[in-house]
Amino acid sequence: MSTLIVVDNPRSWPLELKGVEIIPARSYLTDPYFNSLRRTKVFNMCKSYRYQAAGYYVSLLAEARGHKPIPSIWTIQDMKLPSIIRFVSADLDELIQSSLAPLQSDRFVLSIYFGKNMAKRHDRLSSRLFNMFYAPFLRANFVFHKKWILQNISPIAGNDIPDSHLPFVMEVADAFFARQHYTMPKKSANRFDLAILYNPEEKDAPSNERALKKFIKAAASLSIEAELIRKEDYGRLSEFDALFIRETTNVNHHTYRFARRAEAEGLVVLDDPESILRCTNKVFLAELLEHHKIRTPKTMIVHRDNLAQVEEELGLPCILKKPDSSFSQGVSKAQTREELMHYGRELLNDSELIIAQQFLPTPFDWRIGVLDKKPLFACKYFMANNHWQIIQRASDGSKQEGITETFRLDDVPEKVISTAVKAANLIGDGLYGVDLKEIGNKVYLIEINDNPNLDAGNEDAELKDELYAIVMASFLARIKRKKKLRDQI
């Protein structure tokens, strides 16, 4: 991938950087040669990203040309939004307080050069802000009011870098551009970049470490370069062609913000934000499945005024669920009226509506994976020993899980497969895990998950490496479709 540095006027540019081409903004905007370039990373170092200024148009046209602008037009917009600044300040609160604790003033300006500050003490904070607002030079203003708060963040023009900072800036810039990540061999025209969002500290992550490695290997075989990223890499999304979320999703969570941002930037996204929104709310799913006449355990949408009627409608025991429950958390079995009222009121403290379902005991649930509106894998998730759920959690945080048995799709009852595919297709064409119970000759749909487990040793037991190849082939096809549509516009 070639690299360009775009500045207002190279003659007044104060930095001499090794191995990179520095060009004037006017040339980038008007010379047809730059429009013809492919696989190009554009570092936009113009003095202003103000709306309709040259710096604004450099990032905007880079997006249109399929280049990778840094900062992206979305990062430029984010820097202007108070809501984003408040979110970042809250998200980094602990780091902000520890980094700025020694300061005696009520205001502080942090100069960030490629994620570094001249004071080593602020490097962690500088790095996090750089990854969230992925722009070469940044100025973050903090104010102290009971605690330190990020007030605003803005780009620093090259000409505004103090002379005393220039040696340090040249040092970190040279190191930045010398990294292998930025000096990769030139790729073939069909090479694409995939970000895999994960959290190495997540206990119930949807893919284990071995699975992540298999995804990366399968991607490479299809000329896709896959890279593991974390939530700190939010600002880097514009570098990629696609985003694969392998972290448990929720609407009130950074995973949803990643999905929204990636989709807005034109990336292929699994899980897409609409699927996250739909699947993580069981109230929505209950209404959707009833509307399309898909059989489920008898279900009630419960609020404070009808909680007492659940026993009469569903009988006891029954199951109570938070709308956004996952991995058996936020799910309770009420065996008595007292438990029903206790668990119900507890859940209704956090949500206006919850779900109550008829209890249908079975030794296992079917899990059917669906991708591109077709079945992908089939498993039986057995209940934990002497427990009614797949995962039994103890008060000390430990857990016990039932075993997983994987099947060839041809060996799964046709009614289980067809019900799962029909239900998943109501959500979209993404990657879903559909849970079902089989009782006699009837199939009951339990829920649709937008972020299904794909673990090495479990879901891949039948397909093995082909499972990862199929998922990556779907990404490749989606990226090519999106590129084709973009080229036709």
Per-residue pLDDT of 46-70, as tens digits, reads 888 888 888 899 998 988 888 889 9
Measured CA to CA, the distance from residue 161 to residue 38 in angstroms comes to 31
Assess whether pLDDT exceeds 50 at residue 131: yes
pLDDT confidence of residue 63: 84
Q: Coil, strand, or helix at residue 349?
A: coil
State the Cα–Cα distance between residues 383 and 239, nearest whole angstrom.
42
Q: Does this model's pTM top 0.95?
A: no
Q: What percent of the chain has pLDDT over 90?
A: 65
The domains located in the chain, with CATH, are: 2-76 (3.40.250), 82-155 (no CATH), 188-276+472-488 (3.40.50.20), 298-358 (3.30.1490.20), 364-449 (3.30.470.20)
pLDDT level of residue 441 (50, 70, 90 thresholds)? very high
Over the stretch 313-330, which tens digit does the pLDDT of each residue have? 999 999 998 887 665 677
Each residue of 246-271: pLDDT tens digit? 999 988 888 998 998 899 888 999 99
**Is the pLDDT score of 219 beyond 50?**
yes
Angle at 195 between CA 273 and CA 150, to 5 degrees: 70
CA distance 447 to 440: 19
Local confidence band at 340 (pLDDT 50, 70, 90 cut-offs): very high
Q: Which of 1-10, 253-262, 365-374 has the highest mean pLDDT?
A: 365-374
CB distance 423 to 252 below 8 Å:
no
Task: Render 26-84 in DSSP notation, one character per residue.
Answer: HHHHH-HHHHH--SEEEEE--S---TTSHHHHHHHHHHHTT-EEES-HHHHHHTT-HHH
Give the residue carrying structure tokens 């934000």. 273
pLDDT of residue 209: 97
Task: Retrieve residue 172's tokens.
Answer: 């970190």
Residue 124 one-letter amino acid = R
Q: Which segment, 17-21, 67-71, 276-280, 364-368, is predicted with the most confidence on average?
A: 364-368
